[in-house]
Structure 1
Amino acid sequence: MSALDVTFVTADRTVWTGEAAQVVVPAVDGSMGILPQMQPTLAILGTGTVRIIDQSGHVEQLAVEGGFVSVDSDVVTIGVDDARPVESADSRI
């Protein structure tokens, strides 16, 4: 199974880095799911939650307000000013 190589950074730190099965971001025009072998994409983020689902199904959720996401050859880069953890009752899909 192929995976996404994800790097999620803020202005002052790396928030999350590693392999993921899926990433969901709050693009300004709606929620955008990212899967392996997706076409190259660059999108502006709005306010919402970034969800990173790792290979085992664990979900990392972080609240953001703007930024960008870049996808190219299964490499996902998310850049935002700030990210805050989102508490969830269920951290698995």
Structure 2
Amino acid sequence: MSTFMLEIVTPERNFFSGEAECVIFKSVDGEMGVLPMHAPTVTAVNVGPLKIKAEGKWIEAVVTDGFAKIMPDKVVIMTDTAEYPEEIDVNRAKAAKQRAEERLQKQLSQLEYMRSKTALARAMARLKATSK
């Protein structure tokens, strides 16, 4: 078997559903690549780039926090958001990055600090995806 079924789901839409040869995403332990017949695993997905190899071509996207259920013949990634680079509003991402950086300069509660760090990571991942 050279492919597996890949589903990427957000609360708003089914982002991707189809056969894939490989998927690469950021997990809690760093970048993770999944090939067909991968050992069964459940892992958290972190904000960052997501790459899908389907029909011999690489497809790039950006995802936010979620989790992945990996089985030998199927991978399901459930994430808060998933976007292709062409769907990203660059000006909005730049403004979000600036707001997050400004908030991080202030004394914040631990919760506010974590939210600001997450917002900054999302904005930076979006900007990186659009700069290619």
**TM-score, with normalisation over the residues of structure 2?**
0.62
What is the distance in 1 between the residues matched to 2:8 and 2:47? 16
- Give RMSD over aligned pairs: 1.5
Question: 2:26: which partner in 1?
Answer: 26
Provide TM-score, normalisation by structure 1: 0.86
| Highest RCO, 1 vs 2 (Cα 8 Å, sep ≥ 6) | 1
Give structure 1 regions of 4+ aligned residues with deviation exceeding 3 angstroms: none
| Alpha-carbon distance between aligned partners in 2 of 1:81 and 1:5, rounded to the nearest angstrom | 20
Q: Could you list the runs of 5+ residues in structure 2 that have no partner in the other structure? A: 86-129
1:88 offset after TM fit, Å? 7.3
Q: For residues 1-93 of structure 1, what are the structure 2 equivalents within 5 Å?
A: 1-54=1-54, 56-86=55-85, 87=130
In terms of Rg, which structure is larger? Answer: 2
Normalized per residue, which structure has more strand?
1
Alignment coverage as a number of residue pairs: 88
| Distance of 1:14 and 1:39 partners within structure 2 | 24
The one-letter code of the counterpart of 1:31 is E
Post-superposition CA distance 1:58-78 (Å, at most 9, x none) = 112111121011111310000
Instruction: Structure 1 unaligned segments of length 5 or more: list them.
Output: none
Question: Once the two structures are aligned, what percentage of the paired residues are identical?
Answer: 34
